[in-house]
Amino acid sequence: EGADVELQHLLAIDPGFQLPESVAPPELGQRFSSLRRATVGRLALTVEPADAVVRIDGRPTDGAAREIPLLAGTRTVTARRPGYADVELQLEIRPGRSTPLDLRMERDSAMLRLVSRPAGARVLIDGQPAGETAGQAPEGYPLPASAARYPRAEFSAPLRVGGLVPGSHRLEVELEGFRPYRAVVEVPELRDYDAGAIVLDREEGTVVLRHLPRGAMITANGKEVRATPLGADAGRLRLPPGVFHLMVTDPAAGVFETRVSLADRQETEIQVALRPGLTLLGVVGGDRVAAGQLRTALIEAGEGLEHWAFIDRSERSEDLLARPEVSAQALRAAAEPAGGPPPVNWSGVQQLLGRNAPGSVYLLAVLSDDLLASYVDLWFLPAAPGPAQPDRRRLPTHKPDLVKQAIADFDRPLELQRPWLGALLVDSPAAQGPVVAALVPRGPAATSGLQPADEVVSALGQATKTTAELETLIAAQTPGSSLSVTVRRQGALKTLDLELGTSPQVVPLDSPDLIYAAISAYLTALAADPFDGTPPWLIGLNQAAVYLHGRAFDEAVRVLRGIEAPPGDGLGQGAVDYWLALALRALGPDYADQARQALERAAAQPGARLFHNDGPLVAPRARGRLAAQTSGG
């Protein structure tokens, strides 16, 4: 009896169940067959139309099977199909027998069939909802030739809409983010109609970016997007309607930001003007009052920059600031004189930022105390390929104007040219002003009438008692301008108009007034600008100065070895050779021979100068270092 109950349960679940003969014992198989004949009958079903959905007791039948096993008893059969009147009837199924049923459904309306790309579209007939496309077009479903260029998987399963009476009907297919499809369907008679495959086009506008650097990264509202190239320096973005914050980032040239409002089918053209990017990572330290005030001051100052793009990522840098190497404790320790290895792996931080944050210089503010901060350290780290060595400014927290000024200094232009005098000046206790010791042949001073042994007692009406005073006054002039000087020559005073020349200039190796991270970013952008006329050797020599300042001696060597500077007097190849020797020597004894050879080349250029054409002579310094090496120093 227990086995019979289980078998009856199986048949109740699936009246068509067959007990495998290879598994069941003969006696059990006989009992199952007997039980099946006593409880199960068959329905011999034919339906017109053949694609009607037939359900028996609410369960759908297999559309391919028309000999359907059913439990004996009264069964409810329903048939539904758009375009036909629903059918519902009851019939008696007798055990062990086949009961025929011929369903002929009555046409009561026309039916419209369609598929959409993509699925999920809302269909309306005469303004009334008629269903939603879903699923995927089955294999073998006929798609029109116009749909052949799209994968079948992108089309929905067929949607069938009934209830159409003869006449004209408005068909609308809608999906958010796509242009609606609208058509008029003519229904002359009650039959099936096929609207075909309806391909919905995305709603989109076009943004044309001019002067777009090759390989630049573009983001729209924080998500990376790709532009279709348009010629050598332009790209096309296709975006859905809306308001977008566009950012273009190039590792060399910098950052460009703008907001654009775009409507469907609208085309907007934007001129990309890249600027170096100053990226605020956040304020580290537990003094929330000071942190809030400091962040406000930094943002106000950053947004006022003219030549830099200010990027505030302080609210999106939590993961970075949670790393122990950039914790308040680690950065406070890094700001103090250290006798051991540096507590911050700036190279690792630089690489991490390069992968996750746009910018040319990264700014991190570190408060001195978590409870009551009295000062803040502003760390400025250049992005690669700049040296992985930050600049630091320490400022009092109660003077926000000083904080703002530190940011405003980023707009201070980097001057790669300066006035050129073309004279060697020395101080003498026997003279009332700097004495002209030598003149550059055909230089500005010589052509303006200055002579050796002249004492320059004043310039522009100001007394010049020392060489430093005169050099400071000259440096403040514009290259190519005229400078009125009074000289004492053989006891008599004489006024001359010096026509100052123009000299290339290199940043000093260690100036507390400079932010070398900003200089590094500016030089990187300058080197990438194909329209800038600055000589590549001068850009490279300044980059080498930044690397030497940051003690990135290997990078300095790479840059210096690639420079082809002009030989001879003034700033040029002599400075390249001298700095190459310094960098090689700093790398250790393995490069001692190469360092000596570079010093010998520098010593052989008597008129070569450091920093600018009026700067310190290279040769005496090189000879001094050679002598120190020879003596074992």
Q: What is the CATH number of the domain that holds 56?
A: 2.60.40
pLDDT band at 1 (very low <50, low <70, confident <90, very high): low
Asked if residue 487 is part of any domain, the answer here is yes
Q: Are residues 426 and 476 in the same domain?
A: yes
Asked if residue 176 is part of any domain, the answer here is yes
- Assigned token pair, 33: 């067959």
Q: Are residues 398 and 426 in the same domain?
A: no
Indicate if the pLDDT at residue 3 is higher than 70: no
Asked if residue 15 is part of any domain, the answer here is yes
Mean pLDDT of 230-254: 91
Domain of residue 424 covers 417-504
481, 504, 527: which is the final residue of a domain? 504
pLDDT of residue 325: 77
Indicate if the pLDDT at residue 633 is higher than 60: no
Strand order in the sheet with 181-187: 128-132, 122-125, 167-174, 181-187
Indicate if the pLDDT at residue 134 is higher than 90: yes
Indicate if the pLDDT at residue 583 is higher than 60: yes
Q: What is the CATH number for 117?
A: 2.60.40.10
Highest mean pLDDT among 15-19, 349-353, 440-444, 556-560: 556-560
Asked if residue 509 is part of any domain, the answer here is no
Whole-number Cα distances in Å, 407 to 310, 397, 402, 509: 10, 14, 9, 21
Indicate if the pLDDT at residue 130 is higher than 70: yes
Indicate if the pLDDT at residue 340 is higher than 60: no
Indicate if the pLDDT at residue 530 is higher than 80: no
Mean pLDDT of 594-608: 96
Q: What is the CATH number for 530?
A: 1.25.40.10
Q: Are residues 256 and 312 in the same domain?
A: no
Q: What is the CATH number for 233?
A: 2.60.40.3070
Residue 364 φ/ψ, nearest 5 degrees: -130, 125
Q: What is the mean pLDDT of the chain?
A: 92
pTM: 0.71
Asked if residue 557 is part of any domain, the answer here is yes
Q: Are residues 483 and 445 in the same domain?
A: yes
Mean pLDDT of 335-352: 75
pLDDT of residue 355: 81
For 278-323, the pLDDT digits (tens) are 999 999 999 999 999 999 999 999 999 999 999 998 888 877 778 8
Q: Are residues 257 and 306 in the same domain?
A: no
Provide CB contacts within 8 A for 517, sequence distance 6+.
361, 380, 381, 382, 386, 390, 391
Percentage above 70 pLDDT, the chain: 97
pLDDT of residue 32: 83
Q: Is the peptide bond before 343 cis (omega within 30 degrees of 0)?
A: no
Q: Print burial letters for 469-505: b (CB count within 10 Å at least 16), e (below 16).
A: bbbebbeebeeeeebebbbbeeeeeeebebebbebbb
| Phi-psi map region of 359: left, alpha, beta (phi>0 left; psi -120 to 50 alpha) | left
Contact 218, 237 (CB under 8 A): yes
Neighbouring-strand partners of residue 116 = 198
Mean pLDDT of 383-402: 92
pLDDT of residue 318: 79
Number of domains, the chain = 6
Mean pLDDT of 528-542: 90
For 60-87, the pLDDT digits (tens) are 987 555 789 999 999 999 999 999 999 9
pLDDT of residue 596: 96
pLDDT band at 333 (very low <50, low <70, confident <90, very high): confident
Q: Are residues 344 and 456 in the same domain?
A: no
